[in-house]
Structure 1
Amino acid sequence: MDLIQDYEQQYAVLTAEITAQIGRIGTAIGGERNKLIADIDRQLEESQELLEQIGLEIRDIPQASRAGYTSRLNCYLAELKRLQQEFTNAKSVRQKTANGYDSSVDEFDEIGIQEDQKRRLLDNSERLERTGNYLKDGYRVILETEQIGAQVLQDLSDQRETIQRARGRLRETDAELGRSSRLLNSMILRSLREKIVLISVAVAIFLVLFLSIYFSMSSD
């Protein structure tokens, strides 16, 4: 998640710079204009790559946190698409001026271009503010995710302690059952020995009686 936040910060810096440079295309001429266009093209590609990296990182985060990041990524993609369209429009307006509609010749054209630049600057300011809000929302989501994660870890720790206590009680119960089983076996063996002794005594008494009767009858 820290890596996603770094990518988002880089993206915010790039889009702010792109916005500022798009506003300068209308007044740039010659080599300066060509350099601006090349720089913006490169920065747009870097922005696209950053968003692709963010998309790859989002796939690796837990499902519970993925929805918020995906929503922000969609906003970034829409923002980048608007920047690309504005860049195309800015190049198109300047190209028309170079092809014959020179604003320096017509005062009304000059005023129109200035108004267009003001509008673009206002749009850029609003875009920067929205990007800042996206970053704030992203930071808030990260904090909430950290809090949820900490709570989940605490719950898991409590559950682990409960399981360990239950396991300890189970061991104690098993030990008690073992002792009870040994005691019961001992009592059964003692009972068997007592029964054997009683049977032996009964047999001996029976034999004594039988022999006594036999000898008494024999003597008669």
Structure 2
Amino acid sequence: MEQPPTQLFELYEADFKVLLSNIKDKLDGNGKDLPGEQKKAALRKVEIALDEADDIISQLEIEIQGIPASIRSQYTTRLRQAKTELTRYRKASKESHTQLARFDLLGGSKTRAGLPTSDDPYGEGSDRTRLLAGTNTLDDGTRRLTDSTRIALETETQGADILRGLRGQREQIENARDTLHGADISIDRSSSRIQTMIRQANKQRYIYILIGLFFAVLVGLILYFKLSR
């Protein structure tokens, strides 16, 4: 049974909505008030989910090309809304990274009581500690941004290669379909010609049979008249 042209689009869209739900939970739900390291881990998972959502957007852009023009506009609107949602959550993720970095820079590593520990004679709330923590946070953020940029570029390159490959395969399929269509037309024409030739052959055979019968009757009549005399 042939699948409807919108089935894959809707399946990808459903996966996209599940990813956005998980992202929303980590940014605005249960993950919003997590402590430092757990918050960082949650944000890393958000970045991975955002990349997966971006891949799904690319798949939606491919699938929408195969949807009939009569209903494509509503799916184009849904694709545009999905892109808007993805952009909004990317912005929210970036803001969460910024807030976490600012929190660490301004003394987020303090104990709940704000008192120094035995490992830090200057106290975690001192300028020296905050400066070191801020420097480490900035370095860590720079590394993460560099890694994210590299991954994004690699993903973009791979996505472009995949899209080019899919376009090439689609062109091959369309060419094969056109070739098969042409072959069907040629077969229909050949079949029609063969049927015409068969009819003509049968017609000629009947004519030969009638001519043979005519001559047989004629010879019989000639013999009859000669013998009767």
Common fold by TM > 0.5: yes
Larger Rg: 1
Distance 1:115 1:191 in 2: 107
Q: Does 1:189 align with 2:211?
A: no
SS in 1 for 2:188: helix
In the superposition, the TM-score normalised over structure 2's length comes to 0.54
Normalised TM-score (structure 1): 0.56
Question: What is the match of residue 217 of structure 2?
Answer: 207
Deviation at 1:127, TM superposition (A): 2.2
Alignment of 1:126 onto 2:136: yes
Aligned to 2:227: 217
Structure 1 residue 183: Cα displacement: 1.0
Bigger relative contact order (CA 8 A; separation at least 6): 1
Which range moves more in the overlay, 200-209 or 160-169? 160-169
User: Partner of 1:168: helix, strand, or coil?
Assistant: helix
Alignment counterpart, residue 180 of structure 1, candidates 184, 190, 198: 190
Structure with the bigger percentage of helix = 1
Q: CA deviation at 1:179?
A: 1.2
Q: CA RMSD of the aligned region, Å?
A: 2.7
Confirm or deny that 1:198 pairs with 2:208.
Answer: yes
Q: Which of 175, 183, 188 is the equivalent residue of 1:165?
A: 175
CA contact (8 A) 2:114 2:125 kept: no
Q: How many residues of Structure 1 are paired with residues of Structure 2 in the alignment?
A: 142
Tell me, in whole angstroms, the C-alpha distance in 2 between the residues paired with 1:112 and 1:208: 138
Is 1:18 aligned with 2:27?
Answer: no
**Structure 1 unaligned blocks of 5 or more:** 23-82, 97-108
Contact conserved, 1:20 with 1:124, CA < 8 A, in 2? Answer: yes
Deviation at 1:116, TM superposition (A): 7.4
> What amino acid is the match of 1:113?
Y
2-structure distance, mates of 1:119, 1:182: 92
CA distance in 2, matches of 1:11, 1:198: 97
Determine what percentage of the aligned residue pairs are the same residue.
25
Q: Deviations over 1:138-160 (max 9, x none)?
A: 12222222222222221121112
Check 1:177–1:186 CA distance in 2 against 1; reply closer, same or farther (3 A cut): same
* SS of residue matched to 2:102: helix
Q: Distance in 1 between matches of 2:159 and 2:124?
A: 50
Q: Using a 3 Å threshold, how does the CA distance of structure 1 residues 21 and 5 change in structure 2: closer, same or farther?
A: same
Query: Is there any run of 5+ residues in structure 2 with no aligned partner, and where?
Result: 1-53, 55-86
Residue 148 of structure 1 is aligned with which of 158, 177, 188? 158
SS of equivalent to 1:113: coil
Q: Which amino acid aligns with 1:148?
A: Q
